[in-house]
Chain A
Amino acid sequence: MRKFLSLLAMLIIAIAVVGCTPRGRRTEHEIEDLGPDYQTEISATVTFWHAMGQANQGVIAEIITEFNKEYPNITVVQQSQGGYTDLRDKILTTLSSGNNPTIAQTYPDHVAAYLQGKAVRELDSYINHARYGMTQEEIDDFITAYYEEGKIYDTKGTLYSLPFNKSTEVMFYNKTWFYNEKVDGVSLYEKYNLGTVEVVDEKPVFTDNPNAYLSWEDIIEICEVYINSEAYQALSSDDKLKHAGFAADSEANLFITLTQQFGGEYTSLEEPRFRFDNPQSKSAIQWFFDNKEAGLFGTSTKFGTDYSSDAFKAGQIQMTIGSSAGANYNYPGDPDSTFHVGIVPYPQFEDVTKYGGVQPDKGQVIQQGTNVTLFKCTDPMEELAGWLFIRFLTSYKAAMIWATKTGYFPIRQSVRSSQEYEDFLDGKKLILDANTGEWTTIYEPSFIAKTMKVGWEQRNIFYTSPAFPGSSDCRDVVEALVQAVLYGGVSIEQAYEDALDELE
């Protein structure tokens, strides 16, 4: 009897566990073959979780409308889950109950975490599928670096995501200040070959040099001009603490990029994964710290916020590095009422060995942004429908809509090289002027379009950091490291030690 009771208890607990846990989301199954009329035959609901605001949700809605013209019986439900980390945490929470979405917007380290739960569907079998897949030409059309990011999760290069919204970092500078500030009678704008100026009606009209660029060495010189300027010298000592020549938005990105630019290693897929405790990285932070102490540099923490854009717009800094996708935060408004802003690529070192670094083969600038990932589903139709939506979302048509209506880069070469996208970057507008009754073409690029143009030129020097469980924690830790060194009075050695302790 006792044996029976014991067996019964086990059975019921098993039922309880099965009943309370996933509705079989992590089932591996063959891909359904629906035949040539699959587009109209397939009927399913796809849930797409992301972390986008209302404006971008509107663009996704437009893409869903286009999708439904081809797949009338697939319902795509998009749902913003707030912040990116909230999105990750909610997915991790729901994975245990099976209420996770069909597809989601993902950062690489999120995918790594979901892979721990064996919840992610590999995409190789879909992308190579004879009926539902992509042609080799379509695959090759992805911007290589973006596509490759979906294969960084194991040594076999299994594909777990496709690119979605991509951005980078660029440098914004106060062009009006660069024009007004003169060295030996020449404006900084002209001295550093950023462009030419013509004065019309007592106002400067700028023609930017399309290859304009400032190295870190240039930036230091310019910062020195700033702190020796009459305006800076007139500030009270308290106000000087709130001013600098240059500031960076993201301290984590700054740490990683400087480490890379100094020829150091940040993280690796191989053990040991946290590799930033190296002389190059420390030299990089020492270099930044020295310039911060000299009053030349700062980061967002200096201004008490997450971003340095407000300080830039308030004239507290003359140069800032920020995300290309967040360019508008560095746009003060109509240049005639505020000031002109110039955009140049992320600075590199002419010779980093002078500061203890090892000159890398090429420049280094971060590629950031998210991908889309498919989860394993109980219902093969839901999973297939999820894939079909991903395929559409990353197609030329949807990628064009996305790239021209948001601040993100095209994920396909064909979009980038198209006339339509070129017109978008140039701000081409065809206007029927009601006053004259004539059609007029106006070229009026938006600030974000100008930023994307500059950001795109960096594509050959993009780097991405390996993703693994804990890689996002590592970002948080190095951000705290930078803050501790720059503002917390902690020595570099101690800060690195603390960071590694924290990660362990």
Chain B
Amino acid sequence: MKTRKLLSLLLFLVLGILLVGCVKDEPTPGDKDKIYTDDEIPTPLTDEFKFTKDYEGKDFIEDGIGQVTFVSHVDGDTTIFRTLKGQVITVRYLGIDTPESTYKVEPWGFAAAKFVKKVMENARDNDIPIVLQADEVNSQRVDSTGKRYLAWVWVGGRLINLELVEQCYTATKAAGTMYASKMIEASVAAEAFGTRIWNRTLKDPEYDYSVVGQSMSLQEINEQYNTVYSVANELDKGKRVRIQGIVTRKLGGGNAYIQQQVDGHWHIGLTNTEVVATDGSSFPYIGENGNWFVEETDLGIQAQIGEIGQNAYEVYVDSLPDGETPLNQYVWARRITVAEPDENNLIPYIVRENKWYGLYLYGGYQDVTNFQVGREIYTTGTIGYFGGAVQVTSINDATVQIYSLNNEIEPLEITADDFNPNNRHMLGLLVKMENLLIVDGYNTKKNNPSNLGFTIEAKVNGKDINIRIPNETYIYDDKGNRVSDWEYFEGKTLDVVGIMSIFDGELQILVANQNDLTY
């Protein structure tokens, strides 16, 4: 009896060893077909791994460890924090590389970003301490761009870098760091659990897997996605679209601004050319889609004009300005402004309207050879948002195809009145302003030494006009040295060609080429 008891005990013991010993090597796999919530995924390593370092009163920049506060969210492995001493820093999480959700979109990128955002907002709202820890093995403090601090990010004593691995949002890039073995252990367990990035058949419900993308005009992109509401809510971020337009400017290696002219680019203006106009009251109702045929009659060139929702009336024009006669064409006239001859005998005329829409295409660090000014290109990409405006990302040399060559684009001449953040339909357009006296400015390198961009400011009719020289645009002085200080332009009067763009709510004309500045 005693022996049997002993045997049972021994057997129990060894089975226990067996189970315990094998559990780590053979984690329970998850359900391959299930879309898990973050709460449903086991994170035993993160749960067990406790933060024990002393960080009270320490500053992350100076001491390599310190409490910070959450400032803003970027994506699954990058967050902006404020240190104890008030410095705002961008932090790249050590040891991981989550799928992208900003300059391009990858499966599970949004989910990883949302996970981190939720953790950070929860910490902010509930006063949960966030502590950054520099690596104690690898002495490198910033990443390869030189702009982002590297850190282990502890929130309420939980190592978020490790949790992101256990949540199956990322593989590890932790070799040579203080937590390398823990991270690899988590990666092995996560892969065994087998969801999200480790499940090749499970589709990320937030990722657009379509190849072709929805064909959209730049007008549609602008009107649907460049509104304040769409930008604030990042509407349809990650949606795949197919777009077309003429390259107006290239920025860096893989980025470009494109423009597309939409139908209805003829409109009625005012001229003092002799015409005969009649009251429109007896003419047909125009309806929602004004569409008139312009023809030459015995009386001259005839067109029906009027406003949407009004009765039309006819004009007879003896001649049309600029030789741009839309004869024998249908004219889409949604934006017609009706005008009868006034006291100065100014009368309506038909003229080509600069009815363009613009868009920024972001491809990042690469050489997109098909981006050449004047080329009409088409490409697929994904809707993204940056700095307060829509852009299309996930662009590369293979996606960008040439439709036509040698197209000419003239910049749209604008006034200070046009320089208004409410003119969102003008974002992305190539514009021109003249006689701008530079009175102020600032250098980006003050906060970010490796960024040689700067902003110069002119005042026109009491309004500030910001002109941005980004890091990607090189301005050389007459000795051939690169200019990186706004004061170089102080007191100078400029003619500027650039892209109407917006960044952090500030409207600016972004200069993409030295030749676009005349002074």
Contacts and interface: CB of A to CB of B under 8 A. Distances in A.
Interface of A: 1, 5, 8-9, 12-13, 15-16, 19-20, 54-55, 77, 79-86, 88-90, 93-94, 96-97, 99, 177, 180-181, 230-231, 234, 303-307, 310, 314-315, 328-329, 331-334, 336-339, 405, 427, 429, 431, 433-436, 440, 444-448, 476
29 contacts: A12-B11, A12-B14, A15-B14, A16-B18, A54-B106, A79-B171, A79-B191, A82-B97, A82-B172, A85-B175, A89-B181, A90-B188, A177-B480, A231-B481, A305-B142, A310-B450, A328-B253, A328-B366, A328-B367, A329-B365, A332-B252, A333-B252, A333-B472, A337-B472, A337-B474, A338-B252, A338-B473, A435-B404, A446-B369
Contacts of B25: 20, 96-97, 99
Given A86-B173, A328-B365, 12 more contacts: A79-B171, A82-B187, A86-B172, A90-B172, A177-B480, A230-B479, A305-B144, A334-B513, A337-B251, A337-B473, A433-B406, A446-B367
Interface in B462-517: 472-474, 479-482, 512-515
B146 interface: yes
A315 B366 CA distance: 19
Interface string B246-259: 00001111010000
A81 B198 CA distance: 10
B367 A12 contact: no
A336 B515 contact: yes
B376 interface: yes
Contact of A8 (B10, B184, B253, B479): B10
B3 interface: yes
Given A310-B145, A435-B405, A440-B405, A8 B7 contact: yes
Nearest to A440: B405
Nearest to B396: A55
Contacts of B404: 433-435
Contact residues of B: prevailing secondary structure: loop
Given A86-B174, A97-B25, A448-B367, A337 B18 contact: no
A90 B187 contact: yes
Contacts of B515: 336
B200 A77 contact: yes
Contacts of B253: 328, 331-334, 447
Contacts of B512: 337
B336 interface: no
A81 B171 contact: yes
A93 B255 CA distance: 41
A331 B252 CA distance: 8
Contacts of A304: 142, 146
B369 A444 contact: yes
B317 interface: no
Interface string B155-181: 000000000000000111111100011
A345 B503 CA distance: 41
A54 B407 contact: no
Contacts of B452: 314
Contacts of A448: 367
A304 B405 CA distance: 43
B241 to A, nearest CB: 19
Interface string B367-394: 1011100001000000000000000000
Contacts of B365: 328-329, 331
A81 B376 CA distance: 39
B200 A89 contact: no
A315 B367 contact: no
Nearest to A429: B402
A16 B472 CA distance: 61
B252 A19 contact: no
A251 to B, nearest CB: 13
Nearest to A17: B21
In this complex, the member of A8, A315, A334 whose beta carbon has the largest number of chain B beta carbons within 10 angstroms is A334
Given A96-B25, A429-B402, A315 B172 contact: no
A177 B10 CA distance: 79
A5 B10 contact: yes
Contact of B171 (A80, A88, A181, A434): A80
B403 A434 contact: yes
B21 A20 contact: yes
B7 to A, nearest CB: 7
Contacts of B513: 334, 336-337
A307 B144 contact: yes
A354 B327 CA distance: 80
A81 B3 contact: no
A77 B99 CA distance: 18
A9 B366 CA distance: 63
B499 to A, nearest CB: 12
B402 A431 contact: yes
A5 B7 contact: yes
B14 A93 contact: no
A93 B188 contact: yes
Q: Which 6 A-B pairs have the closest CB atoms?
A: A85-B175, A82-B171, A333-B252, A434-B404, A83-B173, A97-B25
A325 B17 CA distance: 49
Of B17, B106, B175, B513, the most chain A CB neighbours within 10 A belong to B175
B1 interface: no
A162 to B, nearest CB: 24
Contacts of B97: 82
A82 B184 CA distance: 10
B106 to A, nearest CB: 5
B256 to A, nearest CB: 9
A357 to B, nearest CB: 31
Nearest to B2: A1
Contacts of B143: 305
Most buried by A among B22, B171, B187: B171
Given A16-B21, A305-B146, A433-B405, A82 B170 contact: yes
Nearest to B249: A337
A177 B482 CA distance: 11
Contacts of A307: 144
B198 A79 contact: yes
A322 B371 CA distance: 25
A131 B232 CA distance: 61
Contacts of B174: 82-83, 86
Contacts of A234: 481
B204 to A, nearest CB: 13
* Residue of B18, B99, B183, B473 ringed by the most chain A CB atoms within 10 A: B18
A333 B368 CA distance: 9
A19 B366 CA distance: 50
B415 interface: no
A294 B14 CA distance: 69
A317 B110 CA distance: 38
A431 B402 CA distance: 7
Contact of A337 (B106, B406, B514): B514
A234 B484 CA distance: 14
Given A79-B191, A314-B452, A332-B253, A16 B17 contact: yes
B406 A435 contact: yes
B10 A9 contact: yes
A346 B97 CA distance: 32
Contacts of B99: 54
Contacts of A315: 474, 482
Nearest to A304: B146
B408 to A, nearest CB: 11
B398 A334 contact: no
A452 B146 CA distance: 27
Contacts of A90: 172, 184, 187-188
A339 B482 CA distance: 10
B505 to A, nearest CB: 26
B188 A99 contact: yes
Nearest to A81: B171
Contacts of B11: 12
Given A90-B187, A435-B404, A331 B367 contact: yes
A231 B479 contact: yes
Contact of B250 (A9, A79, A334, A434): A334
B28 interface: no
